[in-house]
Amino acid sequence: MIRLVFTIIAGVLLGGIVHLVSVLALPRIATQDAYSRLTPMTKLNAVTPLALADPNNAPMPFMDPAFALAICRYDLSGGSIKLTVPVSQAYTSVSFYTRNEVAYYAINDRSAGKKVIELDLMTEAQHNELPEDEDVTAADRLIIDSPTATGLIVLKALAPEPGLMPQAQATLAASSCKVQTEPPPAKR
Amino acid sequence: MRLILITLLALIIATAVGLGATWMTATRGTDLGTLTIGAWTARPKTGTADVDPYSRATIARSGELPVGTGDGVAFSATSDDRKRPLDGRCDVVVSGVTPAARFWTLTLYDQKGRLVANSLQRYGFTSQEIIRGADGAFEIRVASRSRAGNWLPTGGIERYALMLRLYDTPVGVATRTQRDAPMPSIATAGCP
């Protein structure tokens, strides 16, 4: 009897460990996460507009149907990425996600404070390699550090009324996301 | 022989308890870092880099992308103010005011996060589309049959979820109470 009770207690304790390990492992082993869902329908290091969410066909659950959406799936191993998004009339935002869907940075048109949201995305190592004085001279250049080499940039433009959706989509179509091929200017 | 049996039993219990708990928390979510105002629940931390492991597991399992904190915050409701589950066959009234935000959207989803088909192709409202009263308050009627004013069709599905997303808003990780964020009330007005 004692032995049975002991077995059950040991099982529950072990179960706690199994639970913790599986919760921590789930983001890594999930096959239906947003990144995996978007991989077949998006281009690497380029802006891909997503079709509007509708009941029969939505790439992800819980998408906001009032927004036009575009995805830039990035891989920083070939160099840093320059992102340019013109601001639409209503509301535009750019959110950054790691490979495992951690939203590590998001900015909207008002906090960008300009007609165009311009960002440089790089890994921490690439940021450290930047010449230091360039960091200072280009004060208005916004540099984002990505915690992972791959991930997703989600560009969103709001259509406050359904009639404004083409306008929102046109804004996103004019945005660009590409690898910076030219090496950073040498130290003066 | 007995030792093997007992070890096996312990391992079976461990697997069942462990994976069961993980499945439960990943499907239903946990109360970790939640902000509850009336019937509405938000997890402002899911939009930041210090998201808790349970929310990460939930996000990875469902395949959604959380709203980033610099972008906005998402509140969801699956029951009315009296804890009665939202029923698509009933008339539900969402009324009142929303917290300060540049824009907000209210969207209706089924339990899996899909939009609900209807002939109007109306899946939600934005703050600009809504018809308001003279005092700035609004009233949205969520019902399966057409209603006057702001009608949000349910398609007659049994259970649904409402999601109120605030964009460019001070509401976030620091928000605690109704006073910081006055959320609209949800009331079931009548069932057929």
> Using only C-alpha atoms, what is the Rg of chain A?
21
Amino acid, single-letter form, for residue B76: S
Which residues of B fall within a CB distance of 8 Å from A104?
A: 48-49
Tokens standing for residue A86: 């013109």
Beta bridge partners of A20: none
Interface membership of B25 toward A (CB under 8 Å): yes
Interface membership of A64 toward B (CB under 8 Å): yes
Q: Is the pLDDT confidence value at B30 over 80?
A: no
The sheet carrying A142-146 orders its strands as A142-146, A116-123, A81-86, A176-179
Mean pLDDT calculated for residue range B66-87: 92
Mean pLDDT calculated for residue range B132-138: 88
In the prediction, which pLDDT does A188 show?
Answer: 45
Residue whose C-alpha is closest to residue A96's, from A24, A156, A39: A156
- CA-CA distances (angstroms) from residue B53 to A25, A99, A139? 9, 15, 36
Are B127 and B179 in contact by the 8 Å Cβ rule? The answer is no
**Alpha-carbon gap: A134 to the closest alpha carbon of chain B (Å):** 27
**Alpha-carbon gap: B14 to the closest alpha carbon of chain A (Å):** 4
**Cβ separation of A101 and B48 shorter than 8 Å?**
no
Interface membership of A69 toward B (CB under 8 Å): no
- CA-CA distances (angstroms) from residue A159 to A13, A65, A66? 52, 9, 6
- CA atoms of B159 and B79, how far apart (whole Å): 9
- CA atoms of A32 and A34, how far apart (whole Å): 7
Model confidence over A8-49: pLDDT tens digits? Answer: 899 999 999 999 999 898 888 888 899 999 999 999 999 999
Residue whose C-alpha is closest to residue B188's, from B163, B164, B159, B166: B159
Q: Is the pLDDT confidence value at B31 over 80?
A: no
Helix (H) or strand (E) holding B24: helix B2-28
3-state helix, strand, coil in chain A (%, to 5): 35, 30, 30
Interface membership of A27 toward B (CB under 8 Å): yes
> How many Cα atoms occupy the beta-carbon half-sphere of A4 within 13 Å?
1
| Complex-level ipTM | 0.87
- Would you tell me which residues 115-154 of chain B have a C-beta closer than 8 angstroms to some C-beta of chain A? 115-117, 121, 123-124, 126-129
Q: For the ranges A134-143, B9-18, B157-166, which has the lowest average pLDDT?
A: A134-143
Alpha helices in chain A (DSSP H): 2-29, 34-38, 109-112, 124-129, 132-137, 165-173
Residue whose C-alpha is closest to residue B112's, from B156, B157, B52: B157
**Alpha-carbon gap: A52 to the closest alpha carbon of chain B (Å):** 11
Model confidence over B158-173: pLDDT tens digits? Answer: 999 999 999 999 888 8
Tokens standing for residue B46: 């899911």
**Cβ separation of B19 and A22 shorter than 8 Å?**
yes
Amino acid, single-letter form, for residue A112: A
Tokens standing for residue A155: 């560009």
**Cβ separation of A110 and B168 shorter than 8 Å?**
yes
Helix (H) or strand (E) holding B61: helix B53-62
In this prediction, residue A182 has a pLDDT band, given cuts at 50, 70 and 90, of low
Which residues of A fall within a CB distance of 8 Å from B64?
A: 34, 60-63
Which residues of B fall within a CB distance of 8 Å from A55?
A: 114-117, 123
Q: Which residue of chain A has the CA closest to B164? A: A64
Interface membership of A11 toward B (CB under 8 Å): yes
- CA atoms of A124 and A95, how far apart (whole Å): 18
Listing DSSP states for A69-85 in one string gives EEEEEEEGGG--EEEEE
Amino acid, single-letter form, for residue A67: F
Q: Which residue of chain B has the CA closest to A102? A: B49
- CA atoms of B66 and B93, how far apart (whole Å): 27
- Would you tell me which residues 104-143 of chain A have a C-beta closer than 8 angstroms to some C-beta of chain B? 104-108, 110-111
In this prediction, residue A74 has a pLDDT band, given cuts at 50, 70 and 90, of very high
In the prediction, which pLDDT does A139 show?
Answer: 54
Interface membership of A176 toward B (CB under 8 Å): no
**Alpha-carbon gap: A81 to the closest alpha carbon of chain B (Å):** 20
What lies within 8 Å, CB to CB, of B68 at 6+ separation is A93, A95, A96, A97, A103, A105, A106, B47, B48
Q: pTM score, two decimals? A: 0.88
In this prediction, residue B109 has a pLDDT band, given cuts at 50, 70 and 90, of very high
What lies within 8 Å, CB to CB, of A133 at 6+ separation is A187, A188
Amino acid, single-letter form, for residue A131: P
What lies within 8 Å, CB to CB, of A53 at 6+ separation is A59, A63, A64, A65, A69, B115, B123
In this prediction, residue A187 has a pLDDT band, given cuts at 50, 70 and 90, of very low
Q: How many H-runs (helices) and E-runs (strands) does chain B carry?
A: 2, 10
* Residue owning tokens 């079976």: B12
Chain B interface, best mutation among A23, A93, A119, by max B CB count within 10 A: A23
Q: Which residue of chain B has the CA closest to A104? A: B49
- CA atoms of B186 and B40, how far apart (whole Å): 9
**Cβ separation of B66 and A147 shorter than 8 Å?**
no
